Structure 1
Amino acid sequence: MSETRKIIHIDMDAFYASVELREQPHLRGKPVVVAWDTARSVICAASYEARAFGLRSAMSVATAKRLCPQAIFVPPHFDLYRQVSQQIHAIFRLHTDLIEPISLDEAYLDVTENKQNIPYANQIAKQIRAQIWHETGLTASAGIAPNKFIAKIASDWRKPNGQFVVQPHEIEDFLHDLPLGKIWGVGKKTQQKMNALGWQTVGDLRQISRGELLNLFGKFGYRLYDLARGVDERPVEPERERAQISTEITLPENIVLRDVPHYLFDLATDLWQQMQRHHIDAHTLTLKLKTSEFQIFTRSQTYSAVLPERDALFRAAMQLANRMPQGEFRLIGLGVSHLQPEGSQPELFQAA
């Protein structure tokens, strides 16, 4: 049962921006934006000084420049972020093997049974955060709770560089005044519908019967009924290694399908740079979209020849996006597979 589990959600603080500031300390205290300085790019991360001007992840570079003309743009270094992420995950593995990565900078850990035999998850989280600081010079925030839903919300409670615990008996009070937008899967449209019904908080939602929620929101109504009561039985699921190269971005809020293409150029750029560094060619491209409910949609295309360059990746990704179902999405991923050494098949690029 979820009441017996001890789940920690670790979320690095402004991860990409913090890594860049660590590498370039002369930029500390300035509005730093991690993004390619091009018209088609979006912000990967913003320092806390940049956030004070309203800048945030997934905002277009053009908008960022209007809001903060003095912003300093630093191109992303994803290889470095992955290296630091690997250091952080090595620290996680000192405590548990039940680790579910969400992105490079956040993960769930199930520490119900842990390698150090530490009885309190709060103490484990403190140790992990201290070890991350010692090893990387970066800060992390943590949420500790009996399930993933509550832990994820709690990790944002005392950011940056803090942690928050929600005990089983505290769940109802913790959720009562929580805005509905904090619930997984509740995007702008769903929240507007709820607000129109007079609902503002999770406490309001808890007053609604399961049947009424089912009528209003379909199958998602079942999930809303459980989450309003703090019920989330999903286990922490470790991710298996895959024979592919990939990149992804977790967005601060849900987007609809028509907005997905705005992010594909940056993802294609990062993916192509990875392929170049590893001297790898690929025949298959896969686009992944994930909802806040962790429902995953993928579309793939295999080509008779290797994908020849970045713009080809971008165009292929756009075609895959056109094949996706409508929905609200929180994560966008792009990956290549059917890999081979670079330059081993110089052929024309066409769909298989």
Structure 2
Amino acid sequence: MTVDYSTLPHHKILCVDMKSFYASCSAVMEGYDPLECYLAVVGNKEQQGSVVLAASPKLKKEFGIKTGSRLFEIPKDDRIEIVEAKMATYLRIATEITRLFNRYVPKEAIHVYSVDESFIKIDKADHLWGDAHTIAAQIKDELNREFQLPCAIGIGPNMLMAKLCLDLEAKKKGIAEWTYEDVPGKLWPISPLREMWGIGKRLEKRLNRMGIFSVGQLARYDLEKLESTFGIMGNQLYYHAWGVDLSEMGAPIMEGQVSFGKSQILLRDYKEEHEIKHVILEMCEEVARRTRSHGKAGRTISLGIGYSDSDFGGGFYRSHTIDEPTNVTMKLYQVCLKLFHIHYTGKNVRQISIAVSNLVDDNILQLSLFEPNRVKQHELGFVVDLIRDRYGAGALLRAISYTEAGTARKRAALVGGHKA
């Protein structure tokens, strides 16, 4: 089977990535050149286990420090500058950068994918500003001139191709463009599969077991077999391997992978079961809130526990699917407790993650004779969300958040999980 590209949309979409955004912003604020300095942004300079949120390009290349490294892993070197995150400032700068994009196209043609990455549809801007390469170069120049911030820009006929072009070529060259004609020569050779956007390690292992080790092999695999194994995601994987993406601006590129989750690296080892459960309940509350805010409910609940390095690491990630979808905090918590009791081995815990997937629209609530309070529980969640939306995340907390184990009180005062 082959794809007839002549029948597909041929847009001009830019995917703009701000290089090491947090580190670059802090470098400029400290008076350094983002591309020449050695700078790391951490959550808290006073905690040696604090996570590195961003590292300047030179620090990454020459010292191997990257996002996710720990403060204690940064070498004692006079050239290295360590600063704390200023999340509120980063968000203000990101807003100003979006306003810069708005000079070239209307707001509806801009999709802010993350704080440091955006898609810009420039289909009708060529008669004003020039071709795609010219517009990309102008945007890159203005970002450097007005903010002193470096960026890379991928250009493609759809969001997926623009993103792949960015990750696999533009980040090395500055600006690059992929067309459908580039699929066999640039997309299909990609291996290992996790280098393909949208394919994580677990999915890569499943594909490897099917004899698929490159994107080209995925493109040539039997579509019906992929669909029978992965459902709608198998269809998306197949067509993405051909560079096909029909999603509109702002839609998730891998719609079949949508889930709501939360992961937290704890500031100390949690040794007592009741303390671990306190944090799990707090996180279930946050995941349930996010799920409700998007009008969704899920049937598959996942719990991940990462053990401390003092216990030689390790951990588990397990999922359980329930009969009826939910977005009620205590329902999620009950499932997580079940998974915890089955798989927890008693080691010190340093990381916890919770996710809800297998989503449906939250517009049908089935009543049960065995759960007469289900409607009240469902509605109560939305009432709590309304209070927190109006008065702040810390306006209404569970009693466990005031114990020594609780983390929600501290996190409520943060922006993006870190100091403002």
Whole-Å separation in 1 of the counterparts to 2:197 and 2:393: 41
In the other structure, the counterpart of 1:31 is 38
Where 1:51 maps in the other structure, the secondary structure is helix
Conserved? CA contact 1:143–1:164, under 8 Å: yes
Q: Post-superposition shift, 1:195?
A: 3.0
In the other structure, the counterpart of 1:170 is 182
Identical-residue share of aligned pairs (%)? 23
In the other structure, the counterpart of 1:22 is 28
- 1:152-187 alpha-carbon deviations (Å, 9 max, x no partner): 121131326711011232233221212321333311
Q: Post-superposition shift, 1:42?
A: 1.9
Q: Post-superposition shift, 1:115?
A: 8.3
- Cα 1:173–1:213 change in 2 (3 A) is same
Q: Aligned-residue CA RMSD in angstroms?
A: 4.0
Unaligned runs of 5+ in 1: 240-253, 266-283, 290-294, 302-320, 328-334
Q: Are 2:74 and 1:61 aligned?
A: no
Hey, which of these two has a bigger chunk of helix by percent? 2
TM-score normalized by structure 1?
0.68
In the other structure, the counterpart of 1:272 is none
In the other structure, the counterpart of 1:215 is 228
Q: Are 2:136 and 1:125 aligned?
A: yes
AA aligned opposite 1:61: L
Runs of 4+ in 1 over 4 A off after TM superposition: 26-30, 256-259, 284-289, 295-301, 347-351
In the other structure, the counterpart of 2:213 is 200
Higher Cα radius of gyration: 2
- 1:18-58 alpha-carbon deviations (Å, 9 max, x no partner): 11111213586453210123255322111112212222223
Whole-Å separation in 1 of the counterparts to 2:122 and 2:297: 26
- 1:307-334 alpha-carbon deviations (Å, 9 max, x no partner): xxxxxxxxxxxxxx8763369xxxxxxx
Conserved? CA contact 1:285–1:300, under 8 Å: no
In the other structure, the counterpart of 2:57 is 48
Conserved? CA contact 2:263–2:354, under 8 Å: no
Whole-Å separation in 2 of the counterparts to 1:238 and 1:176: 25
- Cα 1:181–1:323 change in 2 (3 A) is closer
- Cα 1:44–1:348 change in 2 (3 A) is closer
Whole-Å separation in 2 of the counterparts to 1:258 and 1:42: 19
Whole-Å separation in 1 of the counterparts to 2:99 and 2:392: 29
- Where relative contact order (Cα < 8 A, 6+ residues apart) is larger, the structure is 1
Conserved? CA contact 2:12–2:157, under 8 Å: yes
Q: Give the count of matched residue pairs.
A: 284
Unaligned runs of 5+ in 2: 1-6, 269-284, 299-325, 330-351, 359-384, 401-420
Conserved? CA contact 2:17–2:152, under 8 Å: yes
TM-score normalized by structure 2?
0.58
The correspondence for 1:136, drawn from 119, 139, 147, is 147
